[in-house]
Amino acid sequence: KQEVTQIPAALSVPEGENLVLNCSFTDSAIYNLQWFRQDPGKGLTSLLLIQSSQREQTSGRLNASLDKSSGRSTLYIAASQPGDSATYLCAVSPEYGNKLVFGAGTILRVKS
Amino acid sequence: SQTIHQWPATLVQPVGSPLSLECTVEGTSNPNLYWYRQAAGRGLQLLFYSVGIGQISSEVPQNLSASRPQDRQFILSSKKLLLSDSGFYLCAWSPPRLEGYEQYFGPGTRLTVT
């Protein structure tokens, strides 16, 4: 059974700092990995999707990497801003099917 | 562009009452549709998914059910709510492919069972 773990559970940083969020999964037989952002009381916004054949994806100040063999992904946020404050969720999709398995998330607070 | 709607946005229901949550998608055809629940202090849990009209797969045995009466409409129901049904319910869609692909989420429905 696939399990996804995100570390740290919560993170508080000053504005401008570069930061890394970690995601690990127990079964390396994945099709893709997706990072989401969730603001309080809101739905999920897709940030980055990495196919299993890819090593990384970039969007603006965000960079996500994937090491499928070791079961790890990281989300790098450059020059953090207060508007980045949210919960960040990692989810993996199995090789067959669309059933995403989510981690519990990292609550990020960027202080101005 | 594609849009996903959910309603109601919030709902307070007594134990034992029925439930109907609706999700609709615009701007795409034959999407895969999903219902997730996010309980307080817990991660997202997949409840149901559908690859076509009338085709529903259940992931978690419970007193909830799902239906897909139209291509872009997905409904979550219950005949009698339990306190444990409280949570944040999210609907999502993905393009009509068999293998994993990017999922897009709706704004969610906050359900409180009293």
> What percentage of chain A has pLDDT greater than the value 90?
84
What would the 3-class secondary structure string for chain B be?
Answer: CCEEEEECCEEEECCCCCEEEEEEEECCCCCEEEEEEECCCCCEEEEEEEEECCEEEECCCCCEEEEEEECCEEEEEECCCCHHHCEEEEEEEECCCCCCCCCEECCCEEEEEC
Using a CB-CB cut-off of 8 Å, the residues of chain A touching B99 are 31, 93, 95-98
Task: Give the SS3 label for residue A52.
Answer: coil
Given this model, what pLDDT does residue B98 score? 57
Summarised one tens digit per residue, pLDDT across range B12-38 is 999 999 999 999 999 988 999 999 999
Which amino acid, one-letter code, is at A66? L
The Cα–Cα gap between B48 and B45 comes to 9
Cα nearest neighbour of B35 on chain A? A99
Q: Which of A59, A36, A49 is nearest to A108 (CA)?
A: A36
Nearest to B103 among A42, A95, A100 (CB): A100
Q: How confident is the model at residue B61 (pLDDT cuts 50, 70, 90)?
A: low
Handedness of CA A59, A61, A67, A70 (dihedral sign): negative
Q: Please answer whether residues B26 and B76 qualify as being in contact, where contact means their C-beta atoms are separated by less than 8 angstroms.
A: no
In sequence order, the 6+-apart residues with CB closer than 8 A to the CB of B17 are B80, B81
Size of interface A-B (CB pairs under 8 A): 68
Chain segment A12-62, per-residue pLDDT in tens:
999 999 999 999 999 998 989 999 999 998 999 999 999 889 999 999 999
Of B102, B106, B110, the CB nearest to A46: B102
